[in-house]
Amino acid sequence: MCAGVNRRTDPRRARVLRKVEGPLPCPLSLGPVTAVTNGAGEWRSWRAAAREALYGPRGFYRRPEGPAGHFRTSVHVSPLFARAVARLLCRVDAELGGPARLDFVDMAAGRGELAAGVLAALPAGVASRTRVYAVEIAGRPEGLDHRIEWLAEPPRPVTGLLFANEWLDNVPVEVAQTDATGVARRVLVRDDGTERLGEPVTGAEAEWLRRWWPLAAGTGRPGEDRRPGEARHRAQEGPGAGEGLRAGEGPRAGEGPRAEEGLRAEIGLDRDAAWASAVATLDRGLAVAVDYAHTRETRPPFGTLTGFRAGRETAPVPDGSCDITAHVALDACAAACPLPGARLLSQREALPLLGVTGARPPLALASSDPAGYVRALASAGEAAELTAPGGLGDFVWLLQPVGIRDVLSP
């Protein structure tokens, strides 16, 4: 089990610790992945290195202890989270008119904890019509409810709710960093975490940076400064310095402000494509992504790439020994879907709409029902953790209705 530490303690904090290949064959299908090698290994892009380290034959997400052995998510904090998702599924069901078959798809299901919790929390009349799918690359865990279907990719078509809790942060991304001349260049990494700068960012990746994460001086949260010693963690320059598109500029070099050296960004093209592909599996219903995220106005100037191992935050070393994760540009993901109605709201806004609040029980209950008071007090504490500012409450929910209205709207 987990060592008792949330890997999502402060989703707002830029977490820079230490610091060429084509696109994934399909954003929801990993395709062939080679084994993690020993030693420092060759220089690779962060996307390629993380993809192998997380999902290869000896990758982190294939380890027997599962993700919960290294970090806690909202699912592990309290059963209140699964019950809230079950209520959301019931709202989708009502909006769909109570179809003969209702689908619930749990993306990046881990060991099936959310899928099992949702199924257990559904009213009997809804549960009898619900097909529950857990989408995960690891093997099916023993003892999982036989009603849960275990898949490597989401089913098609889906009528119901697709829920992606902390999935997109583990879709590998390219990392870019500005060099001494202000040029955004791809960061290359070895298996031991050593970095250097590679070729300049060009093409679709440069356009994505220009639109969603412009690396110009002053970019990021107001008042956020470089931390002491941070420069030593940045990638060293390799060949090709001074070439390519300057960060923060438009399509033609020489336009726009010059970026300062050492700014970093995670290029979210693959995450945009992954989310769009997931939403495309829905015929009617609702797709929800929940993650620690930022928007264009709040991008951290030095990126968020980090690792987690045994309940502790650690350097992101792509050798299969730790989780490798980065905050998600959910505004870019939302724009990648050619559908109306997408919106973002924080978890502390979303969960109360689904009956989860941190309100303390009345003191009178302590006299009339002491045991009930203790249970209610514990539940209130769990709800408070799920909605706490500066913690899980700052997680962002991306809602994308497909053929129905937004069921969390007033």
Using a 10 angstrom Cβ sphere, with 0-12 exposed, 13-18 middle and 19 or more buried, the burial of residue 368 is exposed
pTM of the model: 0.80
- At 311-340, the pLDDT tens digits run 788 999 999 999 999 999 999 999 999 999
Class of domain 1-404: alpha beta
Q: How far apart are the first and last CA of the chain?
A: 39
Q: Is the pLDDT of residue 97 over 60?
A: yes
Predicted local confidence at residue 235, as pLDDT? 65
| Residue 253 pLDDT level (bands cut at 50, 70, 90) | very low
- At 216-246, the pLDDT tens digits run 643 333 334 333 233 334 566 554 443 333 3
The residue extents of the domains of the chain are: 1-404
Query: Encoding tokens for residue 206?
Result: 């440069």
Predicted local confidence at residue 283, as pLDDT? 98
| Residue 44 pLDDT level (bands cut at 50, 70, 90) | very high
SS3 category, 118: helix
- Mean pLDDT value across the chain: 82
Query: Encoding tokens for residue 120?
Result: 């257990």
State the amino acid at position 386 in one-letter form: L
Q: Is the pLDDT of residue 19 over 70?
A: no
Predicted local confidence at residue 164, as pLDDT? 98
* Average pLDDT, integer, range 366-392: 82
Q: Is the pLDDT of residue 23 over 80?
A: no
Query: Encoding tokens for residue 312?
Result: 């502790």
Whole-angstrom distance, CA of residue 397 vs CA of residue 289: 6
Whole-angstrom distance, CA of residue 195 vs CA of residue 190: 7
Q: Is the pLDDT of residue 251 over 70?
A: no
Pair type for strands 328-329 and 293-294: parallel
The widest CA-to-CA distance across the chain, in whole angstroms, is: 74
- 320 to each of 153, 204, 360, 392, 405, how far by Cα in Å? 22, 29, 43, 26, 42
What value, to the nearest 5°, has the Cα angle with vertex 358 and ends 330 and 366?
Answer: 165
